[in-house]
Amino acid sequence: MSDHDAPNPSQSSAVAQSTEEQPVADEEAFAAKLWEEVESSSPLTCPISYSGPGDADTVNKAIALLKVYTVLLRRRHPWLTFDSLESIVFHSDYALALKEIGERTGRPCEATSEASGVGIAMVVNLEDKCIAVLDAGVALGIADSSDQAKHDLCVDTALHELCHVYDYGRKRRLLSHEFLKRRVAPIEMHVFTAADATWSEYFANKYSNSSCSSPDMHPKYLAEVVPDVVSDVKEAIRAYRTHRQLDVLLSLCQQKVRFLFQCFGYAAGRLAANEAALEEVAPESVSALQAAGLWQRWLDAFAELRRLDGCRETWASFDELKPLMRIADDVFRDLGLNYREDAGVVHVDVPKTPDTMPSNPLAQLFGQMLARPTSK
């Protein structure tokens, strides 16, 4: 070995130290650029309020981090804008915050509540703007560096809602003649909201996807949701055989199907973002859908959501959602509710099947005597 090739201990140490410090220096430079972008051209320019536990430093940290993550979101999708956002509200009493904003809009706003989970965030549509309402725990989670899983979930939740904000603005821009004004045909009233919710959750989950997002949480959630929805609807039909209150039955079943379609949107959006299939990510959800006879409905919905996404900037009417509405109507039929229109009147047939008849023999006989097509 020649002299100039011989290793110098001090030089080796310096090289090693430099190698270790380089990633840190790169990260610091990257963070500095991000913060410069936050201060010079933050995507979030609306007021952000917080009501709940925690000190001012924690809240300020959460808001600062949210702005940083929003800059990263904009870097991934430069076309995402949030001009339609009037404000962001973090509140420890999430239900109360929704109620107060609902009173302002004249439309009731309630958090999603199902046996498998409750809502913690929602974008509420106003006339010209919208408000993002989130549980205060989301802000605290964003600021919490001690629990990475919680932090990631809260960041993902906030970015998901911001994507709803963009989609709200897109609909107002393209469909101003219909947005919040469309008169839904009576025969579509049971499926329009489900179809719109499916699209909204698909879009938000696809484009909010980041390193903080779980690739399998929502796809795997279907394994829990599908049997619960089917069971709840069948039980509601069995109860209807004796109480005969059609409005009670339809209200509950529409809520359950709407929730199912929301979950379709969540799962499909995350799968699309990662270019994955449900069979790969959540085979247990595939089994649940197949057992419920809803596998083809899932495939149809996923394909239709992809089509809608591909043409989202050319929508001319909410009629774009009609294929999704038809899929939702198919699900109602699969579950035992047949909607039809005759001379402008909507009828709902509830066919007698073994799994929708009361288990009690006397109640079953009574239900068979009363079961008949019913006008809505």
In the predicted structure, residue 305 carries a pLDDT above the cut 90? yes
- The encoded tokens of residue 158 equal 């906030």
Contacts of 186 (CB under 8 A, 6+ apart): 341, 344, 346
Reduce the DSSP state of residue 335 to 3 states and report it. Answer: helix
Q: What is the pLDDT of residue 19?
A: 39
Query: What's the pLDDT tens digit per position in 95-134?
Result: 999 999 988 888 888 888 777 667 899 999 888 899 999 9
Query: What's the pLDDT tens digit per position in 29-88?
Result: 888 899 999 999 999 999 999 999 999 999 999 999 999 999 999 999 999 999 999 999
Cα separation, 210 vs 208, whole angstroms: 6
Query: What's the pLDDT tens digit per position in 229-260?
Result: 999 999 999 999 999 999 999 999 999 999 99
Cα separation, 40 vs 34, whole angstroms: 10
Cα separation, 66 vs 71, whole angstroms: 9
pTM: 0.88
Q: What is the pLDDT of residue 232?
A: 97
Q: What is the pLDDT of residue 109?
A: 87
Q: How far is CA 21 from the centre of its chain?
A: 41
Mean pLDDT calculated for residue range 195-208: 98
**C-alpha pair distances (Å), 272 with each of 42, 275, 289, 310:** 28, 5, 19, 12
Percentage with pLDDT > 70 across the chain: 88
**Average pLDDT of the chain, as a whole number:** 90
Q: Which of 331, 350, 341 is nearest to 289 (CA)?
A: 331
Give the lowest-confidence range in 108-112, 261-265, 319-323: 108-112
In the predicted structure, residue 213 carries a pLDDT above the cut 50? yes
Give the lowest-confidence range in 144-148, 247-251, 319-323, 363-367: 363-367
In the predicted structure, residue 14 carries a pLDDT above the cut 80? no
Side-chain half-sphere exposure of 100, counting CA atoms within 13 A: 9
* pLDDT band with cut points at 50, 70 and 90 for residue 361: low
Whether the CB-CB separation of 124 and 101 falls below 8 Å is answered with yes
In the predicted structure, residue 362 carries a pLDDT above the cut 70? no
* pLDDT band with cut points at 50, 70 and 90 for residue 12: very low
Q: What is the pLDDT of residue 11?
A: 40
Classify the C-alpha dihedral 224-225-230-232 as positive or negative: positive
Reduce the DSSP state of residue 211 to 3 states and report it. Answer: coil
Q: Which residue has the higher pLDDT, 14 or 38?
A: 38
- The encoded tokens of residue 248 equal 């009670």
